[in-house]
Structure 1
Amino acid sequence: MSQYLYLVRHGEHLDAEHGVSDGPLSPRGRRQAELLAARLGGVPLTNAWYAPSRSATETAQILSGLLPAVDPKPSALLFDCVPSGMTPDTPKAFESWFAAVTPAEVEAGRAQMADAISEFFVPGGHDRHDLLITHNFVIAWFVRHAMDAPNWRWLGLNQSHCGLTVIRVRPGRPPVLVAHNDLAHLPFELRTGLPETSPV
């Protein structure tokens, strides 16, 4: 039997273009969430969780309002975090970015993501379709894990606001990346969130 993880980055929040890390959804972010709900309308979602940040919470509220069968629950394991630090094989282009990250932040992020993998990558005896509304780095770490890539490889794996990533998990087999940052449900003007200058 298979478990499908539908990983979604929250909708765009107000002042996101100015580097603000969280806040209420912008009108564009609300529309992104509405279109994502339409995209997921035919998926037999089994469970749903969201990061307790404001942007992810409001995204979850929009989805549950448009998908009555979805009853999302908060999970602190889905908060944004830095899941690893510089390693000997990390490209030097990322050194300046990591200069602003403390060892305590890296350790907390590493522990959080280890718990998140144990919590959410759990295929059982029947098919499951689980929705996780979270943040960019969390999805990047899940994709890195699915591909069994080096720890640093979450860097540069970016997701747009309300982009859809799907991972299939089966007992005794490696995870399969079914789709990454799928934006088919969003018109061009709503495809926001990818960095333009940062190496991350």
Structure 2
Amino acid sequence: MSHFIYLVRHGEQQDAEHGLPDGPLSARGKRQATLIADRLSGVPFTSVFHSPLQRAEDTANTITERLPGITSEPSALLFDCVPSGPGADMPAAFEPFFGSVTEAQIEAGEAQMADAIGEWMTPSLEDRHTLLITHNFVIANFVREVFSASSWRWMGINQANCGLTIIRVRTVKAPELITHNDLGHLPPELRTGLPVDQPY
């Protein structure tokens, strides 16, 4: 039997370009959330969780409107965070990112991600479908965990707003990445949140 984990990055945030730490979805973010909601409406989810930040909660509310009998629960394990500090084998090109990150932020992120992996990257005795609405770095760290990659390797793994990643956790075999950052439900003009030099 398998535990399927569906990871969705929140929709585009209103005024995100002004550096606000949190806020409601933009008009484009609402459209993104509606389209991922339509895509997921037929999945037999057993549970849904979201980051307590508003942009994730707004996305979760839009999705669960199309999931009869399912509500989304906030979880601090899905907060936006820095999942780890730099590693000895990390390319120097990533070092500037950590210039403004404190040791306390790194320690908190490591602890949060260890708990999140322990909570959800678990097999099931019967097929189970869990939806997590969260943030770019958090999803990247789940993907890193699938491959047991170096702790810093979440860096460079990017998800668009309302992109879909699916992980299958099995009882005996290693976890499997089913799909990563699938954007098939979004037209090109709604594919936001990726680095500007990355083709969509």
Is TM (by shorter chain) over 0.5?
yes
Tell me the TM-score normalised to structure 2 length: 0.95
Q: Is the 8 A contact 2:4 2:169 kept in 1?
A: yes
Q: Is the 8 A contact 1:164 1:182 kept in 2?
A: yes
1:122 aligned partner: 122
How far apart, in 2, do the equivalents of 1:105 and 1:158 lie?
Answer: 20
Q: How many residues align?
A: 198
Residue type of the alignment partner of 1:11:
G
| Sequence identity percentage | 60
Matches within 5 A, 1:3-152: 3-152=3-152
2:181 aligned partner: 181
Residue type of the alignment partner of 2:178:
V
Q: Is the 8 A contact 2:13 2:55 kept in 1?
A: yes
How far apart, in 2, do the equivalents of 1:179 and 1:121 lie?
Answer: 16
How far apart, in 2, do the equivalents of 1:88 and 1:121 lie?
Answer: 26
Give unmatched runs, 5+ long, in structure 1: none
- Give the deviation of 1:41 after TM superposition: 1.4
How far apart, in 2, do the equivalents of 1:177 and 1:165 lie?
Answer: 8
SS at match of 2:41: helix
Tell me the TM-score normalised to structure 1 length: 0.95
Residue type of the alignment partner of 2:99:
A
Q: Which deviates more from structure 2 when the two are superposed, residues 67-76 or residues 36-45?
A: 67-76
How far apart, in 2, do the equivalents of 1:53 and 1:152 lie?
Answer: 24
Q: Is the 8 A contact 1:164 1:183 kept in 2?
A: yes
Residue type of the alignment partner of 2:88:
P
Q: CA-atom RMSD, angstroms?
A: 1.3
How far apart, in 2, do the equivalents of 1:154 and 1:23 lie?
Answer: 25
How far apart, in 1, do the equivalents of 2:136 and 2:44 lie?
Answer: 24
Q: Is the 8 A contact 2:22 2:55 kept in 1?
A: yes
Q: Is the 8 A contact 1:34 1:66 kept in 2?
A: no
